[in-house]
Amino acid sequence: MGAKEYIRIEGLSKHFGDGGEGVRALQDIDCSIEQGSFVTIVGPSGCGKSTLLRILAGLLDYETGRVVLDGQPIHGTRRDVGVVFQSSILLPWRSILENVMLPAEVLGLPVKQARERAMQLLHMVRLDGFEHKLPRQLSGGMQQRASIARALLHDPKILLMDEPFGALDAMTRERMNLELQRIWMESGKTVVLITHSIPEAVFLGDRVFVMSPRPGTLERVLPIDLPRPRAMDVMAHPAFAAASASIRERFSHAASFD
């Protein structure tokens, strides 16, 4: 994990609607994220996790506070950010390679170089030989790996992930956690991932950001002191159990956690 501060959030608040009918989604968020680190965010449903991620992606603006990415304030979308959502959102009529190539078309990148990078990324996410398949011919986990490759095509410095494995079965989700850890370690990207799963947050994160119920505030930043690469048996480690119990205790009243 690098030591350089890459993202700085100061006094961030976000309000939806007007007057008394509105909803305050975020309140006074203050945090920083280091370059090359893996940060996970957990919190009750409706606490503003996805709102925070969309602000980092430049898809939502904010009323008060300051959000800085690599020294530049975030207002609008940026080329150095990649986003992966819960659904893979692959175009069903396009091959996997054509789906991964989509950012090249949108951003006007040179086709030859983009195709070469797409093939490299498909190799990295272990989809060699599937580049000419249609999305319906792939499993859910494979589709999500393709969406990660697509998000990395334009070589963003940060990868934002909004519950990317929430729709997968438990065994596939565990495999995807291992795959994502490997991809992160190979790519060197800064990753921010939202999840409802406490074990997933602890397994993947260098730090876990714990959010309060709405209006979402950053209640705690929990460092995860476990060596990498992590195998699934790390869940039996006392430090893993202690971190998970600490987070779960704060939300024992919230039924929305896995």
Q: Which two tokens stand for residue 210?
A: 């714990």
CATH number reported for the structural domain that contains residue 218 in this entry: 3.40.50.300
| Domains of the chain: total | 1
pLDDT at position 230 over 90: yes
104 within a domain of the structure (yes/no): no
Secondary structure string (H, E, C) spanning the chain: CCCCEEEEEEEEEEEECCHHHCEEEEEEEEEEEECCCEEEEECCCCCCHHHHHHHHCCCCCCCEEEEEECCEECCCCCCCEEEECCCCCCCCCCCHHHHHCHHHHHHCCCHHHHHHHHHHHHHHCCCCCCCCCCHHHCCHHHHHHHHHHHHHCCCCCEEEEECCCCCCCHHHHHHHHHHHHHHHHHHCCEEEEECCCHHHHHHHCCEEEEECCCCECEEEEEECCCCCCCCHHHHHCHHHHHHHHHHHHHCCCCCCCC
> What is the average per-residue pLDDT within 108-115?
93
202 within a domain of the structure (yes/no): yes
> Half-sphere exposure of residue 131, counting CA atoms within 13 Å on the CB side?
19
pLDDT reported for residue 253 = 54
The answer to whether the CB of 234 falls within 8 A of the CB of 240 is yes
pLDDT reported for residue 258 = 43
The predicted-structure confidence for 44-83, as pLDDT tens digits, reads as follows: 888 889 999 999 999 998 889 999 998 899 988 888 899 9
204 within a domain of the structure (yes/no): yes
162 within a domain of the structure (yes/no): no
Q: Domain span at residue 3?
A: 1-79+190-253
29 within a domain of the structure (yes/no): yes
The answer to whether the CB of 74 falls within 8 A of the CB of 54 is no
pLDDT reported for residue 177 = 94
pLDDT reported for residue 75 = 86
55 within a domain of the structure (yes/no): yes
245 within a domain of the structure (yes/no): yes
pLDDT at position 256 over 50: no
> What is the average per-residue pLDDT within 249-257?
61
The predicted-structure confidence for 136-191, as pLDDT tens digits, reads as follows: 999 999 999 999 999 999 999 999 999 999 888 888 899 999 999 999 999 999 99
169 within a domain of the structure (yes/no): no
